[in-house]
Amino acid sequence: MKLLRKTSPIIKTISSSIIDLPTPINISLWWNYGSLLGLLLSIQIITGITLSIHYTPDINLAFLSLTHITRNVNWGWLLHNLHINGASIFMLFIYVHIGRRIYYNSFYIKKTWNIGVSIFILTIATAFIGYVLPWGQIRFWGATVITNIFSAIPYIGKTTVEWLWGGFAVRNPTLSRFFILHFLTPLVICIIIVFHLVFLHESGSNNPIGILSNSDRISFHPYFTIKDIVGLLPSTLIISIIAMVAPNTLIDPENFIEANSLITPTHIQPEWYFLWLYAILRSIPNKLGGVIALLSAIIILYYPRSISIKKISLRFCPVIKIFFFIIVNSWFILSWIGICPVEEPFILIGQIFRRIYFLYFFSIKYISNFWFINQ
C-alpha cells in the first residue's frame, strides 16, 4: 500500500502531462503512430508474460514448449500468433514513426529525438533476442551468425563471443541469458518511454508546417485521444486478422523445424525488419568493416539532431524531399538484397545503396542549410 501511495503521484503526473499536452492543431494521422506503438508494446508485454508461463528456456524443450503452447494451452495459439506478428507490426510502425520525424524535420527537438533513437536501438536488441527463443532452425543459425560478428572486435572479440554464448557455441546458457534479457529489456524500454514523453511535453510536438507556436495549440485530450482511437481500431483489426487468418505469412518455413547444429541451412536470413541491416553487413567483404558499417547504420540516426533548421519543415525543400524518398527506396532495396544470395549482381547493388543510405545523413545538413540561406 505504501508503494502504491508513493507511485500514485508519479502516475498522476505522467497521465496529466499526456492529457494536458499542448498539441498543434494541424497534426495529421501520421502523428498517431506514437500511441499505436504504446498499444503494441502493451500487447507484446502482456502476451510475452503469459507465454513465459508455459515456455521452457532449454534447448531440448524450447521448441516442444512452443508446440505445447500452440496445441494444448487454451488460447495459446492466439497469444503466440499475436506476440510473433505483433513484433513485426511494432517494427513496421516504429520505422514509419522514425520516417515521419525525418520527413517533417522533427529531429531538431534533440532530447526527444535522442531518447527515441535509444528506444529504437533497445527495440532492435529485444526483437533479436526474442527471435531466437522459439529455437527454430533459422533462428538458431541466425543467432550464431549475428553473435559471431563480435569476434571481429580486436583483442577482446573471441572472449566477448564466448561470454555472450556462455561457452564455445550457442547452447543452453545462451538461450537462458536471451530469455532473461528478453524480459528485462522491455522494462528498460518502458522506463525510457516515460522520459520520452516528459521531453515531448517539455518541447511540444512538431507539426506539418514545422513552425512551433503556442497560439495554435490545444490540449491533447479529448481532441487527439479521439483521433488516436480512430487509428487504434483499424490497427487492432489488422493485427487480429493477421494473427487469426494468416499467422505464418512472415515466418521462414525452416523455423518450423527444430534447431539442429549439425545441419546448416542453404541460405540464412533474419526477420524482414532486420534485412536492411543484414544487407549492409554483407555488403562489405571485410568482417570488421561489415560490423562497423552495421553499427554505424544505427548510430548515425543520432546525427540529424545537429541540424539547426527550425523555422520550416524540410518537406518544403524539394531537394531534401527527393533525397528522403531516395533513402526510403534504398531501405526497401537493401531489405530485398538481404533475402538474395551473396553473389553478383546483388553484392554490387547492396554496396551502391549502402553508400546512398549513409550519404543521405551526411548531406542533409549542408543541403538544407544551403537551400534556406538562398531563399
Catalytic residues: 201, 205, 227-228, 271
Q: What is the CA radius of gyration of the chain?
A: 22
Nearest to 105 by CA among 302, 303, 309, 298: 309
The whole-angstrom separation of Cα 105 and Cα 123 is 23
Set of cell numbers at residue 332:
526497401
Nearest to 300 by CA among 341, 356, 244: 356
Q: Which residues contact 336 (CB under 8 A, 6 or more apart)?
A: 275
φ, ψ of residue 283 to 5 degrees: the values are -75, -15
Which residue reads 543467432 in cell numbers?
143
Tell me whether residue 68 is exposed, middle or buried, using C-beta atoms within 10 angstroms of its C-beta: 0 to 12, 13 to 18, 19 or more: middle
Report the amino acid identity of residue 271. Answer: E
Which residue reads 507556436 in cell numbers?
213
- Count of C-beta atoms within a 10 Å radius of residue 338: 22
Residue 218 is classified by DSSP as E
